[in-house]
């Protein structure tokens, strides 16, 4: 019986452009994976207890310690063995203790106090007093407290850390319509911190802006409906504080502590601005309509 053998020659050359594209694609995927690993690596190590004391001294100042992130960070810093100076909302007390704070040389300062009121409103509806209060707390207080502590840190030449709580609302998304003033005040915090980071690095003073996404606090209530779809990435104040304290002195001038928020930041960076803008405008105006139903 005759047998037939079918020979197929596999010598059709792969086009050069295909190889080039595959190479560029693989390089890009490798690059993104490496950057992600680098971020995750920064999230993983836990600073040994006591290390913060050795690096920055015995004292930590936390503004806005009565609830949410400030309260959780104060407790976490205490667990690391630091003595705390807690700064509440009374301006008289703030002035009173500013001299004490200025006299402390080795120190961690956490500028955490912040307000998001009045929340979802258009600028033309502005209650001027509400905006002024937001600027006083989110901008002026951060500036004043930082300015109060820097002379002592510089004079004694033993370094220190200033942690300013900014927000992903200004650092990871291109706009936050109807929360314009809030996100703009947080952009100030980020730029203020980045410039001071460079200005004071040679003096051993580490200035850092931490820019979290959603943390489950009173303030977040203002945003949660607007951001509904991302609740998977919302963290508790305690979880945020653990990551945040571990990142003090690491991660450069601007960082986003915590694995979940890191992932969100990475993903947000790959979305085009126009898509962000469209989604955020719809979410925030929808949220606004729910809050002020009938007012539009
Ligand atoms: N939660 C989030 O999703 C999120 C995301 C990004 C950034 N942040 C930032 O994280 C920081 C902490 O907010 P949070 O979420 O923890 O909110 P929170 O639970 O409302 O805490 C805000 C803190 O700021 C204090 N504060 C408000 N107005 C003040 C004033 N005039 N003077 C002094 N202290 C004042 C509050 O004190 P009282 O108790 O006396 O009101 C409270 O201790 C803020 O800077 C916020 O912008 C939060």
CATH classification of the domain holding 92: 3.40.50.720
If you average pLDDT over every residue of the chain, what do you get? 85
CA distance linking residue 218 with residue 114, whole number of Å: 11
When mean pLDDT is compared across 3-7, 188-192, 209-213, 236-240, the lowest value belongs to 3-7
* 182 in catalytic set: yes
At 94, the pLDDT band (50, 70, 90 cuts) reads: low
**What average pLDDT does range 233-245 have in this prediction?**
93
* pLDDT beyond 90 at 32: no
Ligand 1 pocket check for 219: Cβ under 6 Å: yes
Tokens of 95: 């002035």
pLDDT of residue 296: 45
* pLDDT beyond 80 at 274: yes
Q: Which atom of ligand 1 is nearest to the CA of 72?
A: 16
CB-based burial label for 8 (10 Å; 0-12, 13-18, 19+): exposed
Q: How many C-beta neighbours within 10 Å does residue 239 have? A: 18
- Residue 208 inside a domain? The answer is yes
Domain that holds residue 94: 22-291
- Residue 258 inside a domain? The answer is yes
* pLDDT beyond 70 at 67: yes
- Residue 281 inside a domain? The answer is yes
**What average pLDDT does range 255-264 have in this prediction?**
90
At 96, the pLDDT band (50, 70, 90 cuts) reads: low
Q: Mind giving me the DSSP string for 42-95? A: HHSPPPPTTHHHHHH-SEEEEES-SSHHHHHHHHHHHHTT-EEEEE-S-HHHHH
pLDDT of residue 158: 83
When mean pLDDT is compared across 17-31, 192-206, 208-222, the lowest value belongs to 208-222
At 45, the pLDDT band (50, 70, 90 cuts) reads: low
- Residue 111 inside a domain? The answer is yes
In the chain, % of residues over pLDDT 90: 53
**Residue 205: C-alpha distances to residues 86, 142, 156 (Å):** 21, 16, 11
pLDDT of residue 33: 87
Ligand 1 pocket check for 70: Cβ under 6 Å: yes
Establish how many alpha carbons lie within 13 A of residue 262's alpha carbon, considering only the half-sphere containing its beta carbon: 19
Nearest CA to ligand 1 atom 45: 114
Q: Cα 109–88–240 angle (5° rounding)?
A: 55
CA distance linking residue 247 with residue 236, whole number of Å: 17
* CA 116 to ligand 1 center in whole angstroms: 8
**Residue 244: C-alpha distances to residues 74, 117, 238 (Å):** 11, 24, 10
pLDDT of residue 229: 47
pLDDT of residue 97: 62
Ligand 1 pocket check for 172: Cβ under 6 Å: no
Condensed to tens digits (0 to 9), the pLDDT of residues 71-82 reads: 999 999 999 999
Alpha helix stretches (DSSP H) within the chain = 16-43, 51-56, 68-79, 91-103, 128-135, 141-156, 168-171, 180-200, 221-224, 237-246, 259-269, 273-291
Higher pLDDT, 89 or 29: 29
Ligand 1 pocket check for 66: Cβ under 6 Å: yes
- Residue 12 inside a domain? The answer is no
- Residue 158 inside a domain? The answer is yes
The catalytic position among 182, 188, 200, 240 is 182
- Residue 194 inside a domain? The answer is yes
* pLDDT beyond 70 at 138: yes
Q: Which atom of ligand 1 is nearest to the CA of 223?
A: 3
* CA 69 to ligand 1 center in whole angstroms: 7
Structural domains of the chain, count:
1
Higher pLDDT, 156 or 64: 64
CB-based burial label for 255 (10 Å; 0-12, 13-18, 19+): buried
Ligand 1 pocket check for 95: Cβ under 6 Å: no
DSSP conformation class of 108: E
- Residue 42 inside a domain? The answer is yes
**What average pLDDT does range 211-233 have in this prediction?**
72
């Amino acid at each position: 019986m005759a047998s037939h053998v079918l020979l197929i020659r596999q010598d059709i050359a792969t086009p050069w452009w295909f190889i080039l594209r595959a190479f560029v694609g693989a390089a890009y995927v490798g690059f993104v994976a490496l950057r992600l690993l680098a971020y995750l690596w920064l999230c993983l190590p836990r600073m040994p207890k006591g290390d913060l004391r050795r690096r920055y001294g015995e004292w930590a100042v936390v503004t806005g310690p009565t609830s949410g992130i400030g309260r959780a960070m104060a407790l976490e810093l205490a667990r690391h063995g630091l003595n705390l100076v807690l700064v509440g909302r009374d301006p008289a007390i703030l002035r009173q203790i500013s001299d004490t704070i200025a006299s402390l040389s080795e120190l961690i300062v956490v500028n955490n106090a912040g307000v998001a009121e009045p929340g979802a409103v258009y600028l033309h509806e502005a209650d001027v007093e509400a905006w002024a209060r937001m600027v006083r707390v989110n901008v002026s207080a951060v500036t004043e407290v930082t300015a109060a502590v820097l002379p002592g840190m510089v004079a004694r030449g033993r370094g220190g850390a200033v942690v300013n709580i900014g927000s992903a609302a200004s650092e990871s998304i291109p706009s936050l319509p109807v929360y314009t003033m809030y996100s703009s005040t947080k952009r100030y915090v980020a730029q203020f911190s980045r410039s001071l980071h460079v200005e004071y690095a040679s003096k051993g003073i580490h200035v850092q802006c931490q820019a979290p996404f959603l943390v489950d606090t009173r303030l977040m209530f203002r945003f949660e409906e607007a951001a509904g779809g991302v609740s998977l990435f919302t963290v508790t104040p305690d979880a945020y504080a653990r990551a945040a304290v571990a990142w003090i002195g690491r991660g450069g001038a601007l960082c986003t502590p915590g694995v979940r928020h890191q992932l969100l930041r990475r993903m947000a960076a790959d979305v085009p601005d126009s898509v962000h803008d469209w989604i955020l405008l719809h979410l925030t105006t929808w949220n606004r309509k729910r809050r002020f139903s009938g007012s539009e």
